[in-house]
């Protein structure tokens, strides 16, 4: 694993931003929120945004973000770990547009045939009624169409890669599993999901059925209460021990990140 100035700088910048600027369900003013999920098994990667190294040694199953970014157009590229630059991506480059106030997740994952690809999703952060929770399921695995089961009953039938489906349900804990479409024998799970009131829980089925490494990743966005007086807030992370989320603020944090990227570029040039 690379032990560079960038890695040290990222820890410092992200840590300070996370402490000073809590994530929100949606971006504010002229900003947007972007999370990134790594769903390609057995491949540690680097992620570049507009040509600058942004996520270093990004491991399968990790979810980074939400990053708070100015609204606008961005180019995302995924390279092999320790690549010199973004000129030879293994996924992308992918052009995305972030609208002010929007909440998005980009995924690096396998398509239905097992080839590495990328997907870009707009997260629904509209309010839900009191006592309710939103559940979204996204299929980003190398696998045929699946049914998502809750308590043994299909609540999302025949979902294909890279599709998604959402529903609003009562808050609480449900036992969820993923099975081949039309069957009830789980290929993932069952696993307990806690659906908090006023939250959006996004579940990703990722990995490869043929390789036997299918898994679930879970992203949670809160602050969707519709009751008057609620205070919007947000968090994004894995509902597992892999919760390696990061929050990146604007202003000094962005400038520091760009400065670190320049320092790394100079350091790499000096080594040539």
Residue 253 pLDDT > 90: no
Predicted confidence (pLDDT) per residue in 177-236, tens digit: 999 999 999 999 999 999 999 999 999 999 999 999 999 999 999 999 875 544 444 444
Residue 11 pLDDT > 50: no
Residue 271 pLDDT > 90: no
Residue 261 pLDDT > 80: no
Task: Please give the residue that has the higher pLDDT: either 27 or 70.
Answer: 70
Element (H, E) at 128: none
CA nearest 246: which of 255, 256, 236?
236
What mean pLDDT value characterizes the chain? Answer: 79
Provide mean pLDDT across the span 141-163.
Answer: 94
d(CA 245, CA 237): 5
CA nearest 249: which of 25, 7, 14?
14
CA nearest 221: which of 119, 96, 136?
136
Provide mean pLDDT across the span 159-163.
Answer: 97
Q: Are 46 and 57 in contact (CB under 8 A)?
A: yes
Provide mean pLDDT across the span 89-117.
Answer: 96
- Report the range of poorest mean pLDDT among 110-114, 209-213, 236-240: 236-240
Work out the number of other CB atoms within 10 angstroms of the CB of residue 205.
25
Provide mean pLDDT across the span 92-113.
Answer: 96
Task: Please give the residue that has the higher pLDDT: either 266 or 127.
Answer: 127
- pLDDT confidence of residue 100: 96
Residue 245 pLDDT > 50: no
Provide mean pLDDT across the span 87-98.
Answer: 95
Residue 152 confidence class, pLDDT cut points 50, 70, 90: confident
Residue 27 confidence class, pLDDT cut points 50, 70, 90: low
50: helix, coil or strand? coil
Residue 257 pLDDT > 50: no
- pLDDT confidence of residue 250: 31
Query: Helix 5-20 to helix 252-271 angle, to the nearest 10 degrees?
Result: 180
Residue 74 pLDDT > 60: yes
């Amino acid at each position: 694993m690379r032990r560079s100035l960038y890695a040290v700088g990222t820890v410092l910048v992200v840590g300070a931003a996370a402490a000073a600027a809590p994530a929100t369900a949606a971006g504010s003013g002229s900003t947007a929120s972007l999370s990134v999920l790594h769903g390609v098994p057995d491949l540690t990667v680097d992620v570049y945004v507009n040509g600058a190294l942004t996520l270093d040694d990004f491991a399968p199953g990790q979810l980074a973000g939400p990053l708070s970014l100015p609204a606008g157009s961005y180019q995302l590229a995924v390279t092999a770990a320790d690549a010199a630059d973004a000129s030879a991506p293994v996924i992308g480059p992918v052009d995305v547009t972030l609208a002010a106030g929007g909440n998005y997740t980009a995924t690096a994952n396998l398509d239905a045939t097992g080839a590495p690809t990328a997907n870009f999703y707009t997260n629904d952060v509209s309010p839900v009624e009191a006592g309710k929770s939103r559940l979204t399921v996204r299929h980003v695995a190398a696998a045929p169409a699946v049914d998502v089961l809750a308590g043994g009953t299909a609540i999302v039938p025949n979902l294909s890669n890279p599709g998604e489906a959402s529903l609003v349900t009562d808050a609480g804990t449900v036992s969820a599993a993923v099975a081949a479409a039309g069957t009830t024998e789980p290929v993932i799970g069952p696993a307990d999901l806690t659906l908090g009131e006023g939250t959006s829980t996004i579940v990703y089925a990722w990995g490869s059925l043929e390789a036997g490494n299918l898994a679930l990743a879970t992203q949670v966005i809160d602050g969707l209460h519709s009751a008057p007086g609620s205070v919007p807030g947000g968090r994004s992370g894995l509902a597992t021990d892999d919760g390696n989320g990061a929050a990146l603020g604007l202003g000094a944090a962005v400038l520091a990140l760009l400065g670190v990227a320049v320092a790394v570029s100079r350091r790499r040039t000096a080594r040539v």
